[in-house]
Structure 1
Amino acid sequence: KNFSYKNVMQVPRLKSIVLNVGMGEATQDIKPLEAAVKELATVTGQAPVITRAKKSIAGFKLREGMPVGCRVTLRGERMFDFLDRFISLALPRIRDFKGVSPKSFDGRGNYAFGVREQIIFPEIVYDKVASIHGMDIIFVTTAKTNAEGKALLQSLGMPFKN
C-alpha cells in the first residue's frame, strides 16, 4: 500500500465490528428491548448481550443495573459475512444515501457509523417491526491513524463521500 510498512504484520486489519442498540425507553417497558435483541440476533447471527446502566440517574428514572440496550461484537468469519451484507445490501437501502462520512474516525483508526432505522437490513421484516430504532456500528481496526483506517475500509469496499 501507500504506507511504507517494514513487516507484513504492520498492515492494518479489521479486528471486530460492534453493533450497539441503546434503548432509553427500556427503563419503563422491557418489550422494545426484547424486540431489539431478536432483531440484532437476526441481523448478525449471534446472540446479543444486554447492556445495563452503570449509574443511577434520577432525571431519567434510571437505576443502576437496569437494562438500557444490547450489543453484539462480531469477529472472524461472521464479521466479514456481516461486512459484506452491510456494504452490498444494507447501505444502499438508506434514504438519500450518498456515501458514508469520512469524518467519523476516532483518531485511532476505528470508524463509528450511526444508523437511524434498523429496517435497512433485509433480514428484518418491515411488517413485524413494533418500533423503529437506530443503532451504532463501530468498525474496530488495528490501524494506528485515521488515514490508515480509511485506506483499510476503502479497500474492503466501504463507500466514502468525496
Structure 2
Amino acid sequence: MAEARLYTYYKDEIVDKLIEEFKYENLMGVPKLKKIVINVGYGDAINDAKTLDVIAENVGLITGQKPVKTKAKSSVANFKLREGQEIGCKVTLRGKIMFEFLDRLINLALPRTRDFQGIPNKSFDGRGNYTMGIKEHTIFPEIDVDKASTIHGMDITFVTSAESDEEAFSMLKYFGMPFKK
C-alpha cells in the first residue's frame, strides 16, 4: 500500500527545511504532525436529534472515518441542555488518513471557500497546536451541495510535536497551508 503524498513530501523535503531553519541536532527533534481532530458542535441538536445523524454522516464522508458523538458535560437551563445529551460529533485522524485529509483540505477544500483570503496565523495555542474554523462544510468535494439540508461549520485542530508556535507555523506553511500574509 502506497503512503500518502504529503507524508512522502514531509519526509523528503519538509524535514530538511525545518532542520535548516531551526538547527535541530537530532532528527527526532523535528516536529511532526501527530493528529488532526475535527469537531462539530451543533447546538440545535437539542431540538432535532435527526440533524445530528446527518451531520455525523457528513463528517464521515469528509474524513473517511466514523465520527464519535459528543455529549454535554453539564446541564445549562437557559439553553434547555441536559447533562449527557448528544450535542455534536468529532473525529480524530492519524497516519495515512490524516495526511490524505490534509492534502484534500489544502488543495481542494480551502480554495473553494468563498472570498478566501487565507487562514488566520494567530490561532496557535502556545504549545505548537493550531486550530482553525470552517463556516460551511460544503467546501469539501465529498458533499453534494444540492442535497445538503443543513449547513454547519467545524473546528479543525492540528496537534503537532512542535515545542513552539514558530516551529508549528513553519511546518504547516511548508505543507502548503495558505496563511494570511
The interval holding the TM-score normalised by the smaller chain is over 0.9
Q: 1:52 aligns with which of 67, 71, 94?
A: 71
Name the SS of the counterpart of 2:37 in structure 1. strand
Give the TM-score taking structure 2 as reference length: 0.88
Alignment-mate amino acid for residue 151 of structure 1: S
Give the TM-score taking structure 1 as reference length: 0.98
Identity across matched positions, percent: 57
1:59 Cα deviation from its structure 2 partner? 0.7
1:93 aligns with 2:135: no
1:152 aligns with 2:171: yes
1:67 aligns with 2:86: yes
Name the SS of the counterpart of 2:110 in structure 1. helix
- The whole-number CA distance in structure 2 between the counterparts of 1:49 and 1:133 is 17
Structure 1, residues 61-110: CA drift from partner, whole Å, max 9, x if none? 01110001000000000000000000000000111112111111111111
- The whole-number CA distance in structure 2 between the counterparts of 1:100 and 1:115 is 10
1:32 aligns with 2:51: yes
Alignment-mate amino acid for residue 145 of structure 1: S
- The whole-number CA distance in structure 2 between the counterparts of 1:119 and 1:4 is 41
The answer for unaligned runs of 5 or more in structure 2 is 1-19
The answer for unaligned runs of 5 or more in structure 1 is none
2:100 maps to which residue?
81
Query: Could you say which structure has the higher helix fraction?
Result: 2
Alignment-mate amino acid for residue 143 of structure 2: I
Aligned length: 162
Q: 1:118 aligns with which of 123, 137, 141?
A: 137
Alignment-mate amino acid for residue 146 of structure 1: D
Q: 1:4 aligns with which of 11, 23, 28?
A: 23
1:58 Cα deviation from its structure 2 partner? 0.5
Runs of 4+ aligned structure 1 residues displaced above 3 Å come to none
- The whole-number CA distance in structure 1 between the counterparts of 2:50 and 2:92 is 23
Name the SS of the counterpart of 2:21 in structure 1. coil
Q: 1:135 aligns with which of 139, 142, 154?
A: 154
1:28 Cα deviation from its structure 2 partner? 1.3
- The alignment yields a C-alpha RMSD, in angstroms, of 0.7
